[in-house]
A = this chain, B = another copy of it.
Amino acid sequence: MAETSRGRRQPTLQDLAKVVGLTANTISRALNDRPGVSATTRALIKAEAERLGYVPNVHARSLVLGSRKTIGVIVSNISNPFFSDLVSEVELQAQHAGYTVLLLLSYESAERERDAIDRALRSGLDGLIAAPVQERSTAWTPVIKAGIPLVLVSRELPELGVDFYSTDNDAGIQLTTDAVLARGAKDVVLLDEDMPFSTIRLRTEGFRHSLERHGLTFDPRHNLALIPPARSFRVSQSWHADDAYRVAADLLDRGRRPDAFVVGDDYYALGLYRALRERNIRIPDDVMVMGWGNLPFTRFMEPPLSTLLLPFEEVAHRATRRLLDHIQGTADNQIVTERIVPQLAIRASTTR
């Protein structure tokens, strides 16, 4: 009876101590390479630990050390390549530093975000990297009150007063817009989502600047094609393409014929391509198309889509580094705000 249950229960420090004939304390010191144990004893203990398959109980350790060696990541959804890359990079780096990653998804919903934050707080995390769903949210103050280091990515919440890392949307849109303008476009339309995100507002502003810098005027009714926000959250990204298709088709059917499109998401370009194809409008001869995000399929579109290479690894890398600094107490107490400039990938869709 006792024998059968023995296999189930993991050996503890006490068990090990009894076997070796020392105290749990000494075992702990030996295994964690702390001083106070002779080399021979240490070797003996380590060998015995290995033999018994001893694994320290994290719960006990966490309780004493007050840390679980875990950082949380809150993003809206990892089907979005931007976020999956971000999370991957965070995981990779956290792992190097001996941390594991707790994944919490908010699905672009304020309610779910609140829930995710709540679960994060109840999970005893050492720190949190998050891409907030909405601006001006008080949902995050409990995190700060609890003294848990927080680093934001992608979407800024200036009033929170925490570190922020992001791709430079303003520079990005100017890069893409300038690129088509430099190639002779005179009438550019920005196809983007109609959402109250700072990222999108920044893009619109940058777009406008770019036009004006080239001596063109910016008229929202003329240069903007806005995709109505989705009523409910849909997991598949391809709906973005459908939405973009509809908006683009509508615009073209109203007789509007710009000579270049700049979009806020590669998926929009996917839908746009279809709308153009259906109307026998050739890319890039009749109209140039510039994407955003360098999604894996863009190189294989026909023609290959010029797009913007977002430095998400870099963002994730720096954000994680900063978070770990906070956790380990090696961070200065400035509020860091970094926007990393993306790079253009020019392909056939803008080459005349």
Contacts and interface: CB of A to CB of B under 8 A. Distances in A.
Contacts of A226: none
A85 interface: yes
A124 interface: yes
8 contacts: A58-B123, A59-B59, A59-B66, A78-B84, A101-B102, A101-B103, A102-B102, A241-B299
Given A122-B56, A238-B297, A299-B241, A91 B103 contact: yes
Interface in A44-103: 53, 55-60, 62-63, 66, 68, 70, 73, 77-79, 81, 84-85, 87-88, 91-92, 95, 100-103
A254 to B, nearest CB: 23
A271 interface: yes
A164 interface: no
B104 A100 contact: yes
B105 A103 contact: no
A127 B259 CA distance: 56
Count this chain's copies in the assembly: 2
Contacts of A62: 59, 62-63, 124
Given A58-B123, A241-B299, A297-B297, A100 B102 contact: yes
Given A63-B59, A122-B58, A267-B296, A104 B78 contact: no
A103 B87 contact: yes
A103 B78 CA distance: 12
Given A238-B299, A274-B300, A296-B267, A92 B68 contact: no
Contacts of A63: 57, 59-60, 62-63
A137 interface: no
Interface string A253-286: 0000000000000010011011001000000000
A302 interface: yes
Given A58-B122, A60-B63, A122-B56, A300 B146 contact: no
A146 B100 contact: no
Contacts of A115: 95
